[in-house]
Structure 1
């Protein structure tokens, strides 16, 4: 077996209180592609910095194969001392590296090399940092949120580049599709420890849920055993006559184990405060046009947005996505055309740059506006500490300056502030940046339950597919086209991606695509439910009801406090039956939901 390129052993690190990392082990072999997942604040970036040699752990060891080169992509690169982007990338090259790769990669990423680092946008900063990490063709790549602030063409270029690389990789990313396409190993940083599975990110969520479910079952058994032992302490004949010190000690050990158990972190409780319904027609745009210095950004664009629509705006950076969004919401006047906004609109906005956050203000003051200790959510006052907990902020963070928060924490703070405001129109500009996967799941559920209208700019393909029912993309020369469905549906209708070489440039053999509107039927072959699908739709509800009754009966048996001490074998058997029934019920519900959605789509065609 070949020795590892990188190995971390028994890594421990703490900043007071519980350790952030506790006995962490990580091994990376040649060519391995590892995705590192975990909650915001769990220590992923810290662990990557230890692997890169940027910081030292309190204890443990770091080994890098002699002669192996390591390159680290931080979330916030340091450009100090670099006069241009080319100088910054060249500073990362080693003595034997090809100096021409620095300029080549910058050009591939849409930069000239002459840019002043002080004037770079978020996307340009990320592209320059990627060029610096990739230019030496390292043996080990450590990538912290590599897709943040990148547009879709660059993300797809990066995926292709990494797939063709022979480097070993450890990646942190919120982009599910990016991780699923590249990873072959998944490591999960959870409550200070690291778990590993020799499979890619596609398998992670099922694996994680199985682990958490097993933990719940073990804790339930522990709770029942404590109840049984406490019953013996109070009522046992031996206990009344003479204390059995061994059993007393065992009970104390059980209680200590229960106290010290670090349960899974609570989930984010996002709820969008909803105002009264807007009018049925939210936005009507007719022939909108906008140009800067003679360059058309939007030309003759028309659309109708109805209440409940979820519209995604995508495209390469610099094509005018934010300009189009500003035109549609009336915050920017068009050069030509007309805009009609619906009645009773209440707008809440989440901007990408988060510049509206005062870095010197505390978390509590940001949510309350500096007035008192309560925040108005949906027109009702809530104590700021309770509202902070919904977004996974600890009470002691109330006085933490915003500038001291991580990127993910600032993202959650922006969400907390935006969602507290009653609205029926949500404007989201890159809402997924820096959010962990669990928070993204809850954000998606929140938007699914939101009865208002959503306009969003995003480069997250999976998020777009899950949320939007229409996508607007640039076709060049200020022309924008609207396609029905999500991002994948848009690609199927458009017939090509959004790469710089083709975006908006119809070839001689390829005429511009006709506009697709949300009310049109998708151009797909007529689909019918098969016999097995029809049968499952008819029989699954009955089976789910039977399983629910069975689970309720089993839980009622488990609620008997004396069952564990009276009949351990029966307790274990009933627990196993309940877990099996719950798994079967979840599978049945998921299958029924898939078939019901399919049936509605077919009948709606």
Structure 2
């Protein structure tokens, strides 16, 4: 096995009297794909900063292979001192790095390079920071929540880009699908220590649950007393996952019902009075439209949302999702069409900006309003301490001021407040932001138990698959279509997922004929290599050399006449690897030849 590029051994770090890291370890070998998982506040970001050389532990061994290039993506990048995003990205390049990579990656991420960092949105900041760490193609990439503030097209592009790199990668993320698609090993940071499994994230939760179950059994052998509240926060995770598996089955049944309803439009006729309909019909939109100036944000769209439906709304940033959502719940009047809202509709929404929280208020008072020990949840009284426990808060935190809460804890509190309000329509706009994986399980459970209707805007593909019965997708140019099922079902039905919003033309043609170039003009225009093609043309020779070396190595192993007799499994594995490397080499050579021909044509 190749020596590690980064090795952290027996890392200890305390904040005051509280140990954050207690013997944590991390080893990163060339080409590895590792996901680092753990509860909010467990020290994942701190451990990653130590690996990047930014943070210092109290004690422990740190080794970085001499000459290895390491790039770290923080959650909050620092743009100070840079006039443009291009200057910021180029500053991350090292000696010998290709300059064109900076502009190519900015272009791929939807930026021009001329943006002023002070004017960037959260999503644009994240894209610029990603371009900076990806441009050098480092030996090791340390990524802390790389999908934060990104829309679905950007997340799927990032997945593809990371898969194509030879860099070793360590990822912290709450996006299950992202981790499943990229990781090959998992490091679990729990109570200051790390445990590792050489399998991707898809195997992690079952492995973790087995470890916790075994740990709980051993604990009960030593002590038969009641398990402390703090232990429930860990061991309750297993029970929630098992309940969620059952609920996924119920969700699939809802999706089948929804699909059958969509296949028979007009088959159900509402003949009862308005008062009776309001209990079953929540929202009905007929041919609603919305424009801002000359821009058509929502073209004629119709839908019927019934009591108990869970509807997801997906699309790239700027596609009009929030506008459509506001029209559906009556916060924004459509320009055309009609929105019919059921009588006595009570809406509860999640305040993603947390602006309604007083930082000096305690958790207990934030839920009860400062009066009494109980609150009404789902029409039933519940003690505030029990309700806090449902959202993974400890009794000690009940009297703590809100200013000491982490981003994930604030998100949990806002969720608890929203679900405690009397409502029959729950509107969740990006509810998974800042939530750890255990809290996402909790949120999934809460959505499943919610007795009313749910409208959900999210870029989290796995969460959509686990919660919604239908998806309204932005199709581009203000068009929206509804699909039965979750996000994976949407891909099956339309052949692709959410795609990036097309850039608007800088100038509109004065006549229809002006938009179509003449054949002569089209033929006289020389072909031009894109930044992506330029990069591929330069990097493919190195890729082909690597593949030839692999073929030679596998060929030498296969030349052993006794290999099959000694180790049939190794023979099969080597044979398959040899065939794959040869196929990859053939494809790379063919692509390189195509690009060389294109380059010659471009140069005249």
TM over 0.5: yes
Alignment-derived partner of residue 158 in structure 2: 158
Alignment-derived partner of residue 485 in structure 2: 485
Q: Using the alignment, how far apart are the partners of 1:288 and 1:447 within structure 2?
A: 28
Q: Using the alignment, how far apart are the partners of 1:397 and 1:161 within structure 2?
A: 42
Cα deviation, residue 105, structure 1: 0.8
**Secondary structure of 1:178's partner?**
helix
* Per-residue Cα deviation, 1:272-318 (whole angstroms, up to 9, x for no partner): xxxxx961000011121111121111011111100011111001111
The alignment yields a C-alpha RMSD, in angstroms, of 2.9
Q: Using the alignment, how far apart are the partners of 1:391 and 1:48 within structure 2?
A: 27
Alignment-derived partner of residue 186 in structure 1: 186
**Secondary structure of 1:82's partner?**
coil
Q: Using the alignment, how far apart are the partners of 2:441 and 2:278 within structure 1?
A: 27
Alignment-derived partner of residue 32 in structure 1: 32
Change (3 A) 1:385 1:113: farther
TM-score between the two structures when normalised by the length of structure 1: 0.72
Establish whether residue 81 from structure 1 lines up as the match of residue 81 from structure 2. Answer: yes
Contact 1:267/1:392, CA 8 A, preserved across alignment? no
Contact 1:36/1:186, CA 8 A, preserved across alignment? yes
- Map 1:57-456 → 2, pairs under 5 A: 57-223=57-223, 265=234, 267=236, 279-359=279-359, 361-369=361-369, 376-378=376-378, 384-398=384-398, 400-456=400-456
Q: Using the alignment, how far apart are the partners of 1:153 and 1:321 within structure 2?
A: 14
Change (3 A) 1:293 1:267: farther
Cα deviation, residue 170, structure 1: 0.8
Cα deviation, residue 267, structure 1: 3.9
Q: Using the alignment, how far apart are the partners of 1:128 and 1:371 within structure 2?
A: 47
**Secondary structure of 2:196's partner?**
strand
Contact 1:6/1:65, CA 8 A, preserved across alignment? yes
Which has the larger displacement, 453-462 or 356-365?
A: 356-365
Contact 1:289/1:299, CA 8 A, preserved across alignment? yes
Alignment-derived partner of residue 512 in structure 1: none
**Secondary structure of 1:19's partner?**
strand
**Secondary structure of 1:459's partner?**
coil
Contact 1:283/1:328, CA 8 A, preserved across alignment? yes
Contact 2:93/2:135, CA 8 A, preserved across alignment? yes
Change (3 A) 1:84 1:62: same
Q: Using the alignment, how far apart are the partners of 1:356 and 1:435 within structure 2?
A: 19
Cα deviation, residue 352, structure 1: 3.6
Cα deviation, residue 384, structure 1: 4.6
* Per-residue Cα deviation, 1:444-476 (whole angstroms, up to 9, x for no partner): 122122221010011111111111111111122
Q: Using the alignment, how far apart are the partners of 2:487 and 2:127 within structure 1?
A: 23
- Give the number of aligned pairs: 469
Structure 2 gap ranges (5+) = 244-276, 505-604
Contact 1:145/1:434, CA 8 A, preserved across alignment? no
Contact 1:311/1:471, CA 8 A, preserved across alignment? yes
Cα deviation, residue 181, structure 1: 0.9
Q: Using the alignment, how far apart are the partners of 1:198 and 1:74 within structure 2?
A: 25
Contact 1:278/1:307, CA 8 A, preserved across alignment? no
**Secondary structure of 2:234's partner?**
coil
Change (3 A) 1:450 1:80: same
Alignment-derived partner of residue 565 in structure 2: none
**Secondary structure of 1:138's partner?**
coil
Change (3 A) 1:76 1:413: farther
**Secondary structure of 2:302's partner?**
strand
Which has the larger displacement, 107-116 or 385-394?
A: 385-394
Change (3 A) 1:83 1:495: same
